[in-house]
Amino acid sequence: MSLRTRTAVALGVSLLAVALPGAVLPAQAVAPRTTLPAVESEAMCVTCKIPLTVAQSPQADRERAFIQRLIDEGLTEAQIKRALVREYGPAVLSLPSTHGFDLAVYLVPPCVVIALLGLLALLLPRWRRRARAARAAEGVGSTPVLSPSDEARLNADIARFE
């Protein structure tokens, strides 16, 4: 075998060794294994009504054990959440679902903010025009006119200090 052929074979084998683990690895990386803290941070204790991460009750311990059992079975985070809802009801999740009436929780606040910004953009120029008109009507920015008695008193005060 020539040197060129041996080099080509060695290069091919090394490329194959590098490529094979990369080809096998993505299949395993498609569904990363979930952890108890990841699910626990999105769940509530159904009796305490507080996040499961801080709950210290027998019910919270039962929920954690249930979650750990599902993790050990190899379920994904979404599957575990569905199982929690089936077991304990929708109050077990810390966030409402993203469909049906619960979707309003996510849509209403941004809509209200946008509506208020639009209202402010509409009313602010009107308020500024009114304020400018009121200042012009009061004579703000022009020289004030004094009555003769006020002018005499002012001149007397100025003369006293000179």
Do residues 42 and 74 share a domain?
yes
Do residues 91 and 104 share a domain?
no
Do residues 89 and 36 share a domain?
yes
Of 44, 49, 126, which is closest to residue 81 (Cα–Cα)? 44
Do residues 90 and 43 share a domain?
yes
Diameter over CA atoms, the chain: 122
Nearest-angstrom CA–CA distance, 104 and 160 = 74
The total number of structural domains in the chain stands at: 2
Q: What is the pLDDT of residue 20?
A: 57
Give, as one character, the DSSP assignment of residue 30. Answer: S
Do residues 45 and 89 share a domain?
yes
With tokens 């009436």, the residue in question is: 101
Of 63, 73, 72, which is closest to residue 43 (Cα–Cα)? 63
Domain containing residue 111: 100-134
Q: What is the pLDDT of residue 27?
A: 46
Residue 12 maps to a domain: no
pLDDT along the chain (162 residues), means of 10: 59 57 50 81 88 90 92 91 91 79 85 95 92 77 77 93 84
Handedness of CA 151, 155, 161, 162 (dihedral sign): positive
Do residues 107 and 130 share a domain?
yes
Q: What is the pLDDT of residue 111?
A: 93
Q: What is the pLDDT of residue 32?
A: 67
Q: What is the pLDDT of residue 90?
A: 86
